[in-house]
Structure 1
């Protein structure tokens, strides 16, 4: 990907985006960082890729009775409209994850960011949620996007 980003930089040398969104693969982000300055750039993960990873993981770890409950909680977490709502849901989610052992022990613990790509323009709520998720994600064991 670095040659593609290098060509982009050649055409747009002053490109300084506030956000960088891709799938969850580190290869794209690493290539971007190799070519562009990333200070001040918020890395976002495409919600479609995140949901795909979560669903694949849920199918392996959770029994049928708990799948819809977990999916509903994850959806609400990504749609929280205020920091208070996010952390309230997050704390509930973390308690359930710990008590029910929904997640595997060896999962990736890197901070992650989410954004709802179905919106034509990212709202301030979506951007705020991305930051909230990024801050909290490091504390939850979640599956790596594939």
Structure 2
């Protein structure tokens, strides 16, 4: 599919000026790319796809031949790991920070008192709760 066909379909035949406005891109740049033999650049496709809610940026890149379907399925080379693997890779500091964040959420949920929040630092009360949970995994207090 070429850029003009894609734009007409995604934007319901909007003008270049209207598309540029919706995507917050310079009209002249968009017009130049549409008329170019090389077509739209990937960043332009993504901006337009985001501006028009029915279009998916990754699907648009595939439709226009800017990436392959296989590349789209591979999550752009992002390594997929399980929760267990992610936890194993996290440092003790990262784990404690996350525990502190979750305990803060729990404290806020319990009584709505934001003065007791630790700003993602594990305070002594939270540390005692974590240590108690490690000793008694049932979570009973």
Provide TM-score, normalisation by structure 1. Answer: 0.24
Which is richer in helix?
A: 2
Provide TM-score, normalisation by structure 2. Answer: 0.25
